[in-house]
Amino acid sequence: MKTEKMNRKVVLSTLWIFVTLNYLYCDVMSLMDAGLLKQYIAGTVNGMSMTGGFLLGSAILMEIPIAMILLSRILRYKANRWINIIAAIIMTVVQTATLFAGTPTPYYIFCSVIEIAGTAFIFWYALQWREKEAIN
């Protein structure tokens, strides 16, 4: 039985898809949470105003994992490795910090643990990537 090595670009892109789907589904679930939905409608969630600036910042932040799906596939080794490391650090830190904003629900904690584990793994996986393995 021959074991084939997986292309790191494909694995990293797939991991970013996994993490992004978890972010999105957790956000969808929050719209089913009656207490949070009332806060969304009022424009303030856990004491944070949902201003245009806040929403723009959130959109920029979520564009990171979305863009990483594509960038992981098309960038060459050196840029790919570093952008994955940096993006994973940013997303891990931000997601960890959100656990301390307000009172997180059990489903939010569950999703966050998966998201943090996913981005921490991306960080580790990209950090272990060596140029001799790179397929450009």
User: What is this structure's pTM?
Assistant: 0.89
pLDDT digit string (tens) for 68-125? 999 999 999 999 999 999 999 999 999 999 999 878 899 999 999 999 999 999 999 9
| pLDDT tens digits, one per residue of 6-18 | 899 999 999 999 9
Would you tell me the crossing angle of helices 8-31 and 52-74 to the nearest 10 degrees? 160
Residue 4 has pLDDT above 80, yes or no: no
